[in-house]
Structure formats: C-alpha cells, structure tokens
Structure 1
Amino acid sequence: MLYCPAQADSNPDLVASTSVAPQWKVDFFDDFDDFNPQHWQDQLLWVNGEDQCYLPEGLHNTREVSDGSLKLRVVDLGSLQACDNLSKTGEQHPDTRYVAGRITSKNRQEFSKGKWTARLKVENSGQPGMFPAWWLLGARNNEPPVQEQDENVCWPMAGSGEIDIFEHHSDGGPDHYAARVIKSLGHCGGGDWQGHMLVQQATLAEFHEYSVEWVGQDIVFRLDGTEVYRLLEWGDKIAEPMFAVLNFAKINNSPMRESWTMEVDWVRHESLD
C-alpha cells in the first residue's frame, strides 16, 4: 500500500492506493545526445517577477547539451545587462546581471494525459533565490512563443492548465521539491498554488526520476517510480494536450554563492498501451 501520511488526513484529495500499475508504451523520448529542435525550443519571457533574463541558444553557457545530458544554468554576468524578455502585458524585463536557460516542447511534443517523466538533478540546492522546475502547460497557453491561432487561452483556464512535476523553491531550504496541480479560480491569472500541492524530501544532487501520470480518473505523482501523491478525480479536469517546460529561474536578487545547474539525463512521455 502506498500512502502520503504527511497530508492525507487533512487533504481529501489524498488517499491510500492499491491500484495495479498500468502498462505504458513510449511515444516520446529524448536522452539529450544533442539538442533536437523537433523536440524543444527556447522560451523567452518574463513571469513571476523573476530576476533572471532567459537567453536563446545557450548564450553565456545557460544551456548546454554534452555527455548525454542537458544542463540548464543561471549565470551571473557580474554587471547589469539589457534584457529583451517581455511580460504577459508586454512590459520589458529590467536590466539584470543574471541570465538563464528555459526550453519547452511547445508545438513540438504535446500530449493529452499519459505519463511524463524526467530524470534530473540539481546541484547546490537551497541557495536563496533558486527556482528550477520541470512542469507542464496546456497547449493553448497564450504566452510566447505564440505560433498557432488557437494559442489564445490565458493561464490557468482550461486549455492552459499547469502541472508542476518538480519545483525546487529555495525558501524551504535544500533537498526538497514541490509537486502540484494548479486549480483554476475561473479567471485569467487566478490559480490556487497551495491547495493541491505536496512538498517532498529528496537528495536533489542525485539523479531521480520525477513523473506525473493519469491513472483512471486520478492524477498520480511518483518519485523513482514510487507513488508519493494522488489527486482523486482530477484526471478529466486537466485533460487538454500539454507541453513540457524545463527551466532554471532566479526569484530574488540574492547573490549567488555557488554555480546553479539543473542537469537532465532524459525526458519521456508514455501512453497507455
């Protein structure tokens, strides 16, 4: 029996699970032998008041594919530089000394339901301002790049929903991450971040497999294949095609003490056979 004792008594979405594991078939896999533009593109935007500027093409070593893995970094340039990232309302990011990498499978690899998994690690976790993430967004999301006519739905309305599979917010210290589904409050920009969230301990400097899957009517989060969180009756609430995002953000102006790198060994999507 798999159980989430930390939150099961207080959150009706959490229950013990005795379900039989479903059978999956792989329909997307990237082990990062190179950077494949049929799988990923850079995503340049300014959200959440983040301090860093996202750069394309791995400029300043913000994105590197080498030795069979992807490295996304936050880099301190040492002095203020102009940033052309725009907010949702078209406001330009102020000058900043920090630059970073963010990639997305938007309009490349998008899937409805199934199972998403990434094997990754984060060095030097817990430093003030760290915000690396592995997550999903609905394919009709209206944030840049907007490349199709139907990309006109604001976050987090249906068609632009969000699932965070792995998110390390440094405010809680090292070696933990959050997994969540964001509940739409019914208007643009209105999302409940806390009501459907698990905070889980893990040794972030070591590789782990972080996954989310749709199992029957439920959404299930796993760490190294073990169920850690289950949301009952959420499987059809976020059923739209979704794309993946991998990014390393910096959420305040605290100085960087050590290098910041999220290393991704591989990403996979599976569908039920």
Structure 2
Amino acid sequence: MKQTIIILLPVLLVLVFGCKEGNQKNKAMQETASTWEIDFFDDFDAFNPENWQDQRIWVNNENHCYVPDGEFGTREVSDGTLKIKVVNIGEKRPCDNFDKHGNQHPDTEYVAGRICSKNRKEFIKGRWTARLRLSGNGEASMFPAWWLLGAQNNEPPVQEADENICWPMTGSGEIDIFEHHGDHMKDAFTTGAIVSLGECDKGDWESKRRNFPATLNEFHEYSVEWEGSDLVYRLDGEEVYRNEGEGDKYPEPMFAILNYAKITDSPMEGEWVMEVDWVKHEFRK
C-alpha cells in the first residue's frame, strides 16, 4: 500500500499543479484577448459641433470670460490641432458668463476658450486619452485642464431634464486627467479624482490627487481608465497613479472638457495656448 501511495503521489502533484498552470495560462490568454477598442476619436481637422460645444460658465472665481465661437482666437483649429487659449485683449469688456447661482462675471480684459462633449459624446467608464502640449508653463494664474464631469451636472449648459445634480455628487462627479497650476509648479501636472463629501459643492481636492513631472511644452498622452474598481492614470501609456476603489464611485456617463483658465489676479500679456492633437475614448472589447 505504501508503494502505491509513493507511486501515485507524483502523479497527483502533476495533475494538481498542471491544472493550476493551465488555469493561469487561460486567464492570461483571456486578459490578452480583452483589448481596448476606439468608439470615439477626434483628430481636429476641423471643429466638429457633433462632438463638442462651447461651455460658457463662471466657476472657481476665474478671472477671464469664456467667449463663444472662438472669438479673439480663444478656440481655433489649424494645422491639424485644436488651440484652446487665454487671451489678453487689452481692455476690459462686459462678460455674460454666470455662475450657477445667477451671479454675473465682472468686466474683464481676459477671454478664454472652454469646450465640452456634454450631450455630444458621453460614456460610462472606459478610457479617455488626449494628446496635448502647452506653449509655456509655470506662469502665475495659468490653469489649463483636461478632465471629465458627470453628465447630469446642473451647471450651464443645461439641456436635458435630468441635468439637475450638483457637483460633485454621483451623477456630477469629477475626474481630473490633466491640470497644470502655474502658481505652484513648472514642468509638472496634477491628476486624480475629486472625492465627494456627500453635499452639494463640497469636494475633497487633496486626498486623491497627486503631482507628476512632465515636459509640458512637448506633446504627451494623458489618460484615465477604469480597471476593475480602480481609476488608473497614465502618461504616454505608462501608469503614474492609481485611485484604488474610486472607479466604483463613478457609475454615471461622463463627458470631457478641455479648457484654459486664468485663476488669480496676476497680470498676463499676450496669450497662453493649450494645443490638442487628438482626443479619444475606448472601451474594453
């Protein structure tokens, strides 16, 4: 009987570990087969109103006025790229931007561009990527951004009956893929999720966001993807940061925003430019 056990034991070990290795190989093959497929791509040969619309709003005590239709060159497409700008027009003019409480922006000499895919291209989860660069960085007041917002957000433009949820509650959550705070950094960007504190207009901007180095005046790909329950942030395809478990807090469709803001009273001359080569969204096939 002992001899039989001795003979069968190696066989059993081979069977057990063989099955385990086989399962691991099958899992690896399944993960490899699960690829990203593009369902939205804009390479900005022209400004496509089926993909984007101007978003004219006063938020964050910004010093500029968002203007429509690329007035003063604040939003233009040329040479195959989109340029979003802040421009000093040299004299103060009235601004018809309002905040969500009905307050009108004061007169200002600064104008800017902001576009969003709200009610154009909205997706649940997946991966958003933009390839972009800045004409300069590290100047006071500079605040360009590439980010996502929940499709039921109640800030202008309000175009559907269900756009009645205040930031950053579920339905109006925020994910920041790329922000550059010129007041605080040079050759670096901020990425991460805004944590809802469970009340209107109350969000945690600190705990889930981090700063990372990048040569901002060169083109890079900035992306966020849902990987299981995590939000994964990538620079040129390489993971730089991860919000573990935060992906489960964004079940809603989200739209994309590209904007250039001026956020303090520091003076500026001329214009600031964020140049966008392309934007895409992908989903797991």
- Report the TM-score when normalising by structure 1: 0.91
CA–CA distance in structure 1, aligned partners of residues 228 and 271 of structure 2? 42
Pick the aligned partner of 2:48 from 29, 36, 45. 36
1:116 counterpart = 2:145: no
Partner of 1:222: 234
Partner of 2:180: 168
Please show how residues 74-85 of structure 1 align to structure 2 within 5 Å: 74-85=86-97
Partner of 2:158: 146
The answer to whether the Cα contact below 8 Å between 1:22 and 1:215 also exists between their aligned partners in 2 is no
CA–CA distance in structure 2, aligned partners of residues 126 and 241 of structure 1? 33
Letter in 2 for 1:255: P
Q: Calculate the aligned-residue CA RMSD, in Å.
A: 1.2
Letter in 2 for 1:189: D
Partner of 1:47: 59
Partner of 1:269: 281
Pick the aligned partner of 1:179 from 183, 191, 197. 191
State the 1:246 CA deviation: 0.2
State the 1:172 CA deviation: 1.8
Partner of 1:203: 215
CA–CA distance in structure 1, aligned partners of residues 32 and 104 of structure 2? 50
Partner of 1:57: 69
State the 1:127 CA deviation: 0.7
Pick the aligned partner of 2:167 from 155, 179, 186. 155
Gaps of 5+ in 2: 1-30
State the 1:259 CA deviation: 3.0
- Report the TM-score when normalising by structure 2: 0.88
CA–CA distance in structure 2, aligned partners of residues 30 and 183 of structure 1? 29
Return structure 1 stretches of 4+ with deviation > 4 angstroms: 19-22
Q: What is the number of residues matched between the two proteins?
A: 255
State the 1:55 CA deviation: 0.3
Bigger Cα Rg: 2
Partner of 1:67: 79
1:135 counterpart = 2:147: yes
1:236 counterpart SS class: helix
Change (3 A) 1:21 1:211: farther
Q: Which moved further from structure 2: 201-210 or 21-30?
A: 21-30
Letter in 2 for 1:187: E
CA–CA distance in structure 2, aligned partners of residues 59 and 229 of structure 1? 37
CA–CA distance in structure 2, aligned partners of residues 170 and 110 of structure 1? 30
Letter in 2 for 1:116: W
1:205 counterpart SS class: coil
Gaps of 5+ in 1: 1-18
Partner of 2:22: none
% of aligned pairs identical?
63
